[in-house]
């Protein structure tokens, strides 16, 4: 996921209907690959939309952080007493982890069927 090369990519998709030509080409390519790998039609369709929406969501979060730095807002909002589990994993949710979280999430989606 390269936020610099595809700057504002997710923002361009917000409000775009899923039947746009570029979106359909991407979905066609991904569904074909998933069908060819042995997934049934439902799994291929649902996995495709899961990957697309996961990618868009994380891209939007990354681009929002680039335009308006998150500073310590998340760290300040997470209370050790009210959110003990979130507090434990806070370091893994920093803006510097976008690429790693993307790779992890994509592997989890594609490998977790």
Query: Can you give the CATH number for the domain in which 104 is found?
Result: 1.10.357.10
Is residue 3 a part of any domain in this protein? Answer: no
* C-alpha to C-alpha distance for 3 and 110, rounded to whole angstroms: 22
Is residue 83 a part of any domain in this protein? Answer: yes
Q: Which of 60, 56, 58, 62 lies closest to 102 in space, CA to CA?
A: 58
**Is the per-residue pLDDT at 84 higher than 80?**
yes
For 64, the domain range is: 9-111
DSSP type of residue 17: -
**Is the per-residue pLDDT at 3 higher than 60?**
no
What are the pLDDT digits (tens) for 13-41?
A: 555 556 778 888 999 999 999 999 999 99
Residue 87 is encoded by which pair of tokens? 């507090």
Higher pLDDT, residue 51 or 59: 51
* C-alpha to C-alpha distance for 16 and 39, rounded to whole angstroms: 28
Is residue 4 a part of any domain in this protein? Answer: no
Domain count, the chain: 1
Is residue 2 a part of any domain in this protein? Answer: no
Is residue 34 a part of any domain in this protein? Answer: yes
């Amino acid at each position: 996921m390269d936020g610099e090369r595809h700057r504002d990519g997710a923002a361009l998709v917000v409000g775009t209907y899923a039947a746009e030509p570029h979106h359909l080409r991407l979905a066609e390519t991904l569904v074909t690959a998933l069908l060819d790998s042995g997934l049934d039609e439902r799994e291929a369709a649902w996995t495709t939309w899961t990957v697309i929406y996961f990618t868009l969501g994380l891209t939007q979060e990354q681009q929002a952080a680039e335009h308006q730095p998150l500073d310590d807002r998340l760290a300040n909002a997470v209370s050790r007493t009210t959110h003990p589990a979130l507090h434990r994993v806070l370091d893994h949710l920093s803006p510097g982890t976008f690429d790693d979280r993307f790779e992890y999430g994509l592997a989890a989606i594609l490998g977790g069927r």
